[in-house]
Structure 1
Amino acid sequence: MRGWATYYRSVVSSRTFAALDSYVWRLTFNWAVCNRPNKPTRWIVDRHFGRFNKFRNGP
């Protein structure tokens, strides 16, 4: 990530980081769906990607 920030600091980086964020989210979401084939999508999103996910240590 630091390399990307340094490389794109002289141009509009928000578009680049938004694309990178979208790509990483899609990768992790597809991973979660493949690992939980019998669970509904809403359960997967709430469990792994919720803002106040009690299983995560982040804010």
Structure 2
Amino acid sequence: MKPPFAHKLEHHPAVLEDQAQQAANAQLRLADKITDFAGLMPFVASPAAPTTTSDG
């Protein structure tokens, strides 16, 4: 079921033009797919082990 305001949401003509250009350009489509894939990857942070030296 669509929200009651869904029919009122429209993109600006400049946004629609940009989307059409991106859809027409194979290089931009590939870049979008790479970006989408990268956005799905969880952020992995490896904790740095503390490095201390002790002079015995």
Range class of TM-score, shorter chain? 0.3 to 0.5
- TM-score, normalised to structure 1's length? 0.32
- TM-score, normalised to structure 2's length? 0.33
Higher helix share: 1
Q: Which has the higher contact order (CA 8 A, sep 6+)?
A: 1
